A and B are shown apart, each in its own frame.
Chain A
Amino acid sequence: LAKTTQPISMDSYEGQEVNITCSHNNIATNDYITWYQQFPSQGPRFIIQGYKTKVTNEVASLFIPADRKSSTLSLPRVSLSDTAVYYCLVGDLKNSGYALNFGKGTSLLVTP
């Protein structure tokens, strides 16, 4: 079962900054936080990953507070093509291995 909680949906206008927050209260010491983007009928696409503080790449920033119980994905100046489902993942260590389970994700709609 997923260890994360996100808003079901968000709306934004083109050109705005979008922040999607994910709650992961039971995150373990060794867990990383990873965000994916998925368009219909396509495989999820890796966006960004972090362990603590702030991570930035060419498409997004990830903010992680010191307690690591939540994280925020920031998408600067979204466009219509950013309309997609965004998933936050935290691994689940089991006896036999490490599972990457998806939660319900956030459906982002960007309009003109």
Chain B
Amino acid sequence: DTEVTQTPKHLVMGMTNKKSLKCEQHMGHRAMYWYKQKAKKPPELMFVYSYEKLSINESVPSRFSPECPNSSLLNLHLHALQPEDSALYLCASGPNGYTEAFFGQGTRLTVV
């Protein structure tokens, strides 16, 4: 089973709202990732968690706040977003962070 589950699939939020994206995997993977993808562009790495600790933050604005409550869950907390933050947000997990990663189907976020 190589399934990474993301919820919700779609989210519309206002610029003053606070919302969270959730990601779950039960493959025992020790690395988890958040990516942002705009239309017709490649995914852009945002954060990497390794063994439940934040290891990489690719200079992401503080209105995006990641959290890894346990080895199976990864959250992305959103606050005071801008319309240009509208994108497909992808979560991925990998066994060790050095080899392959498996992606969820993403959350389509629209900021109005």
- Could you tell me which A residues sit within 8 Å of B by CB distance? 2, 30, 32, 34, 36, 41-46, 49, 85, 87, 91, 94, 96-105
B76 at the interface (CB under 8 A from A): no
Taking the closest CB of chain A, its distance from the CB of B94, in whole angstroms, is: 8
Choose one: B2, B45, B88, B106; the contact of A100 (CB below 8 Å): B45
Q: Are B33 and A100 neighbours in the complex by a CB distance under 8 Å?
A: yes
Q: How many angstroms from the CA of A42 to the CA of B39 in the assembled complex? A: 11
- Could you tell me which B residues sit within 8 Å of A by CB distance? 2, 4, 31, 33, 35, 42-45, 48, 50, 55-56, 58, 88, 90, 92, 94, 97-106, 108
Sample of 21 A–B contacts (CB below 8 Å)? A32-B99, A34-B101, A41-B88, A41-B106, A42-B105, A42-B106, A43-B90, A43-B92, A43-B103, A43-B105, A43-B106, A44-B43, A44-B90, A49-B100, A97-B55, A98-B55, A99-B48, A100-B33, A102-B35, A102-B43, A103-B42
Taking the closest CB of chain B, its distance from the CB of A40, in whole angstroms, is: 9
Main secondary structure of the interface of B (DSSP, over half): strand
Q: Are B98 and A41 neighbours in the complex by a CB distance under 8 Å?
A: no
Q: How many angstroms from the CA of A91 to the CA of B50 in the assembled complex? A: 14
Q: Are B42 and A45 neighbours in the complex by a CB distance under 8 Å?
A: no
Q: How many angstroms from the CA of A49 to the CA of B2 in the assembled complex? A: 15
Contacts A44-B43, A46-B2, A104-B42; A98 near B98 (Cβ below 8 A): yes
Q: How many angstroms from the CA of A100 to the CA of B98 in the assembled complex? A: 8
Contacts A32-B98, A34-B99, A42-B106; A97 near B48 (Cβ below 8 A): yes
Q: How many angstroms from the CA of A45 to the CA of B55 in the assembled complex? A: 24
Taking the closest CB of chain A, its distance from the CB of B52, in whole angstroms, is: 13
Chain B residues with CB under 8 A of A91: 98
Taking the closest CB of chain B, its distance from the CB of A49, in whole angstroms, is: 5
Contacts A41-B88, A42-B106, A87-B42; A96 near B100 (Cβ below 8 A): no
